[in-house]
Amino acid sequence: MIWLILAVLLWGILHSALASLKAKDLARGWIGTRLMRFYRLLYNFLAVLTFIPILGLAAVTPDRKLYLVPFPWSGLMVIGEILAVVALMVGFLQTDAMDFIGVRQLEASKRSARLTTSGLYHYVRHPLYSAGLAFIWLLPYMTANVLAINIGLTIYVLVGAFFEERKLRREFGQQYANYATVTPMFVPFLKGNKKLR
């Protein structure tokens, strides 16, 4: 189980390091500004590709059932997971799905970045993280290996969100600072959701 947690954390460190501004600046120096438009697409491809060995490790690691939530509670959990998937899709579309994947960057004209504060982003600053965490923790059937992956992913999301917050504050400055003071990080309605001034 510990190896699975460490594998997910190693994946998370690699994923976060490649998303950093420092890594992007380093890549820009190596490959040039013209080829940097492929960076986000390649980054997402590598994120998926490098997670496959973790799933393989989980498949060959001996596993055991920890719990199975009985009906009707398991049904409520599945409904929660469905809502989490819907929230993931909505949040994904609200951030400009083509930009998120890396396709928009392939266009010749460069668009300036904009801070999304409407839709799900009005309620939480990181709706994709919130929905992802809700999905993995609402599984009604839990095994030791799934628990290990969930723990690793949760640590990755919490640490990754901290670094993403720093990056967003650098990119958007006071606009993001104002947004962060009125919008909770992960849990809606945790603190007031007043309109930005």
Give yes or no for a contact between 69 and 137, defined as CB atoms under 8 angstroms apart. Answer: no
User: Which residues neighbour 101 within 8 Å (Cβ) at sequence distance 6 or greater?
Assistant: 40, 41, 44
Q: 1-60: per-residue pLDDT in tens?
A: 788 999 999 998 888 888 887 888 898 899 888 888 888 889 999 999 999 999 999 999
User: Mind giving me the DSSP string for 73-117?
Assistant: HHHHHHHHHHHHHHHHHHHHHHT-HHHHHTSGGGSSSPPPP----
Give 85-137 pLDDT, tens digit per residue.
999 999 988 887 777 787 877 776 666 678 889 999 999 999 999 999 999 99
- pTM higher than 0.75, yes or no? yes
Question: Strand pairing partners for 141?
Answer: 68
Cα–Cα distance measured from residue 11 to residue 19, given in angstroms and rounded to the nearest whole number? 12
